[in-house]
Amino acid sequence: MSVVVLGSANLDVVIALQRIPSPGETVLTDTISRGCGGKGANQAVAVARSGAPTTFLGAVGNDDAGRMLLDGLAGAGADVSAVRRTDGSSGTAYVMVDAQGENAIVVIGGANAGYTDLTEAEADIIRRADVLLMQFEVPIETVTAAASIARAAGVQVMLNAAPYAELPADLLENLDLLIVNEHEAALSAGTQGTPEEVATVILGSVPGVLITLGAAGSLLATRGTEPVRINAPHVTAVDTTGAGDTFSGAYAAATVEGLPAVERLRFASAAAALAVQERGAVDAIPDRARIDEALR
Ligand code: ADP
């Protein structure tokens, strides 16, 4: 039982500043760090650390960042043998974080932006999966094509619609589960309301929706069954970057493990609650032993 994660991989360049500069201003700092990131890579690491066999599909550049990203993913246990190494630069995210924890981010698509089609070999990898998990940091045409290949092969298709983009009909029709935070849920539904109300609207166009509610927990609604809502564990959050990615990846892993709905939510919530208690994105994603311990 395996998960294929198709998506972006970015070099994250994190610059810590007293405050984020205004236009025309220069601010000095010497606090800079580099790490693996990108929603696709984050989610692949979360699936792999959750203990499910994981294959990552995407593209990195033919540069040092590309090597670092492949090493980071493989180090977490993901199969990276089908990741493309393209001419040019890897995707890069420049993240400025101020003393209050507010951020401003510039993303350069790099190799991710060039991932515009799928080879027959990549399509075969998708067909052999049990779950296909995707996001919106690679071109939407690729996400749409992958969903259609997966659906035709009976693979469960999960899409974390972040960063938010409108969902075309030919993508919606091939989704099994839409994963969104509260903000993205309201945009998808085109209406505000309680999470239950918003979920009901979304169920008009997809068979399942999972809405994450930050510190307030999460809600899973699927057609024909009662919605399941759980609280998040009470923890002190120090950095919520990547909380949604950890949640999505852990949820996909719990799904291929065959856990019932409420257990899948509990597993994903435990993983995300651990992630928010540490700084960083990939570094903060917990492994299976820590998730199991938190659930005891
Ligand atoms: P995103 O990061 O995509 O905006 P959310 O903020 O909804 O998504 O967070 C995703 C999940 O991470 C939540 O459903 C919850 O399980 C967990 N989480 C986020 N913030 C906290 C928090 N402060 N305490 C505990 N869990 C949290």
Asked if 56 contacts 81 with a C-beta cutoff of 8 angstroms, the reply is no
Ligand 1, atom 19: nearest CA belongs to which residue? 214
Residues labelled catalytic: 245
Percent of the chain, pLDDT > 70? 100
Q: What is the pLDDT of residue 281?
A: 83
Confidence band for 257, pLDDT divided at 50, 70 and 90: very high
Per-residue pLDDT tens digits for 179-209: 999 999 999 999 999 999 999 999 999 999 9
Residue 156's DSSP bridge partners are: 131
Confidence at residue 132, expressed as pLDDT on a 0 to 100 scale? 99
| Ligand 1 probe mutation, 212, 213, 231, 248, most atoms within 8 A of CB | 212
Instruction: State the pTM of this model.
Output: 0.96
Q: Which amino acid is at 110?
A: G
How large is the average pLDDT for residues 159-178? 97
The rounded mean pLDDT for the chain is: 96
CA-closest residue to ligand 1 atom 8? 244
Q: What is the pLDDT of residue 221?
A: 98
Within 10 A of 89 (CB to CB), how many other CB atoms are there? 17
CA of 184 to the centre of ligand 1 (A): 13
Environment class of 112 (CB within 10 Å of its CB; exposed 0-12, middle 13-18, buried 19+):
buried
Residue 296 pLDDT greater than 90, yes or no: yes
Q: Whose CA is nearest to atom 24 of ligand 1?
A: 215
- Residue 213 CA: which ligand 1 atom is closest? 7
Among 58, 105, 107, 103, CA closest to 85: 58
**Amino acid at site 232:** A
Q: Whose CA is nearest to atom 2 of ligand 1?
A: 244
Ligand 1 centroid to 53 CA: how many Å?
Answer: 24
Residues with CB under 6 A from ligand 1: 162, 181, 212-215, 217-218, 232-233, 235, 237, 240, 243-244, 247, 269, 272-273, 276
* Confidence grade of residue 241 (pLDDT, cut at 50, 70, 90): confident
Q: What is the pLDDT of residue 82?
A: 98
d(CA 78, CA 129): 14
How much distance in Å is there from the Cα of 216 to the middle of ligand 1? 8
- Indicate the pLDDT class of residue 61, thresholds 50, 70 and 90: very high
Ligand 1 pocket test target in 133, 160, 181, 279 with most atoms within 8 Å of CB: 181
Ligand 1 centroid–CA 207 distance in Å is 23
- For β-strands 91-97 and 103-108, DSSP reports them as antiparallel
pLDDT digits (tens, 9 = 90+) for 128-156: 999 999 999 999 999 999 999 999 999 99
CA distance 63 to 10: 12
Name the nearest CA neighbour of 275 among 237, 219, 229, 248.
237
User: Going by C-beta distance under 8 Å and a sequence separation of 6 or more, which residues neighbour residue 29?
Assistant: 15, 16, 17, 18
Q: Give CA–CA dist 90/66, Å, rounded.
A: 6
The number of beta carbons lying within 10 Å of the beta carbon of residue 223 is 10
Query: What distance in angstroms lies between residue 181's CA and the mean position of ligand 1's atoms?
Result: 8
214 conformational bin, left if phi > 0, alpha if psi -120 to 50, beta if neither = left
pLDDT value at position 113? 98
| pLDDT tens-digit series, residues 87-97 | 999 999 999 98
SS3 state of residue 62: coil
